[in-house]
Amino acid sequence: MSKNKAKEEGQTVLKSTGAELLLNSLVKEGVEVIFGYPGGTVLSIYDALLHSPIRHILPRHEQAAVHAADAYARVSGKVGVCLGTSGPGATNLVTGIATAYMDSIPMVVLTGQVQTTLLGTDSFQEVDISGITLPITKHSYIVKDARQIPRIVKEAFYIARTGRPGPVLIDLPKDIQAAVVEPETDELSLTSYKFFSKGNAGQIEEATRALAECERPVLYAGGGVISSGAGEILNKIVEKGNLPIVTTLMGMGSLPTTHPNLLGMVGMHGTVSANYAVNDCDLLIAVGVRFDDRVTSGLGHKFATKAKIIHIDIDPAEIGKVVKTHIPIVGDARSVLEDLSKKLVPPKIDAWWKQIHEWQKEQKSRQESSENLQELTPQNIIRVLGEKADPQAIVTTDVGQHQMWAAQYYPVLRPRQFITSGGLGTMGFGLPAAIGAQVAQPDAQVFLITGDGSFQMCIQELATTVQCQLPIKIILLNNGVLGMVRQLQKLFYEERYNQIQLRDNPDFVKVAEAYHIRGIRVTRLDEVASAIDEALAYNGPVLLDFTISEDELVFPMVPSGNEITDMIGR
């Protein structure tokens, strides 16, 4: 609190600066960590932070701040918070805001802004950040009165974490932060903001009847299962009904990958059994999914055409957007599944399981015939990592081939364990995400699985890792190319390779050592286990540079625009 006091009607009224009100409001919301980068228009906030219990993490680029806040939210289940200055500081946050928006991650983004008297004058480092981010935020505020800060912060957090979660932006002009005021009430004022937690009882009843009568059901779980905390009740439904289940990339962890009913990931790089089962099912129960084109190949009208589709989602805009929905249920995934579980009658599906087991045999045969178990391949590296890592370890990834190999081969056993950019597919996400994950769970093992292309997009965050003493272990799958782009050029552009060679890559072990990080180079399969053991025994960050072939491809693969059963490779 400021020492400024005013006499009003004979009573002493304690006043605060806007920056103090902001930080006090964040503390009331349970905020313990902010990821931010200072600048001229947010210095009042940074000055107030000197007397705040909130921990501040300083990255080396604003994009890393927002990715770290995103991953902090994914791992902890709390609202992530990041802070940037005006102009380029704010615009550097845009990619991370879009990443969080696409994956429905709760986040409050704080940006500095020029003083209110200069708004609209194109003054130094002025940008309309709320206008720029309008399509990629749930809501945004431009604070024009410092007295309203407590209410605005309370509303922002409520909007970010309720309904379909997502990022909310608060733009704070410089003079508003410095203003000394008596705060107004923080009472919520959101008459137009509504969402439905409870599903319609009649539609849930209809869904339970459809499940009892079907012969070939498939549960299809997405990121909404994770964000709603529905993993436990989903597991109960799967086991009570003996139902086969598939997941999206964002839904990984809904059920352990070791669970016998889990057929794997569905879609472009999904498993044979998952894709065939979805194509042939007569009832598809979709929970917390968007029917993304990476699953449907952009062919909503040809997706699961033999099935009656039940779509459970808290966002009514997603119902029927991509595929025709026969039983729409708008509501929170956990709440709806709990109601459905109470009335569930297990269907008789022995014949269906017999067919699925045949597809699983085919899947295993394809995999065994194509895998090279004697060479240093990404599949072998990730398999060994999964064996060596703590079962509760957190894995973050960047985007590309390594992301898909991680999704296919790493054993994900619980929700909030596998952290990746699904909807936007953001290269450079992985290292900042590992930082946010480690800050959220300081005692957990945290691994980053990345490629040499993605890694170099935020490589400067190695400094943040060291400064914050975070023992992150980096698994760098180094093939010297932009691997996924090369794969697409190989398969669909007759091997006309262009602008995918990263011939002038640095020596990543020396780069790591320059940042005071332990670096280990691995070039042979028989070195993998001992290298991972060495990394795990080391009390600090480690970079493991694995040299792999550029010819290694991610299979199976559904070419874009093909039905999900049209898989190439294994």
Catalytic residue flag (residue 195): no
User: What amino acid is encoded at 570 in this protein?
Assistant: R
Catalytic residue flag (residue 125): yes
Helix H, strand E, coil C: the string for 229-265 is CCHHHHHHHHHHHCCCEEECCCCCCCCCCCCCCEEEE
Contact 398, 427 (CB under 8 A): yes
CA angle 459, 464, 466 (to 5 degrees): 105
- CA dihedral sign, ordered 256, 260, 264, 266: negative
Q: Specify the DSSP element, H or E, that contains 150.
A: helix 149-161
Set 125, 203, 441, 460: catalytic member: 125
* Cα–Cα distance for residue pair 62/87, rounded to 1 Å: 12
* Cα–Cα distance for residue pair 446/389, rounded to 1 Å: 9
Set 250, 484, 557, 567: catalytic member: 484
Set 124, 232, 343, 501: catalytic member: 124
* Cα–Cα distance for residue pair 44/400, rounded to 1 Å: 40
Packing angle between helix 430-440 and helix 62-76, nearest 10 degrees?
Answer: 50
* Cα–Cα distance for residue pair 280/258, rounded to 1 Å: 23
Number of other CB atoms surrounding residue 118 within 10 Å: 15
Set 15, 154, 174, 473: catalytic member: 174
Q: Are strands 16-17 and 180-181 parallel, antiparallel or unpaired?
A: antiparallel
Number of other CB atoms surrounding residue 532 within 10 Å: 23
* Cα–Cα distance for residue pair 14/135, rounded to 1 Å: 39
Contact 75, 414 (CB under 8 A): no
Tokens of 375: 């060479």
Partners of 226 in beta bridges:
none
Contact 473, 479 (CB under 8 A): no
Q: How many residues does the chain have?
A: 570
* Cα–Cα distance for residue pair 332/403, rounded to 1 Å: 29
Catalytic residue flag (residue 374): no
The single residue listed with the structure tokens 């398969």 is 491
Q: Please tell me the chain's helix, strand, coil percentages from 3-state DSSP, rounded to the nearest 5.
A: 40, 20, 40
Q: Identify each DSSP E strand in 393-529 by its residue range.
A: 394-397, 418-419, 446-451, 473-478, 518-522
Catalytic residue flag (residue 124): yes
Set 15, 20, 35, 62: catalytic member: 62
Q: Which region holds residue 481: left if phi is over 0, alpha if psi is between -120 and 50, else beta?
A: beta
Phi–psi pair at 11, nearest 5 degrees: -115, 145
Catalytic residue flag (residue 174): yes
Catalytic residues: 62, 124-125, 174, 484
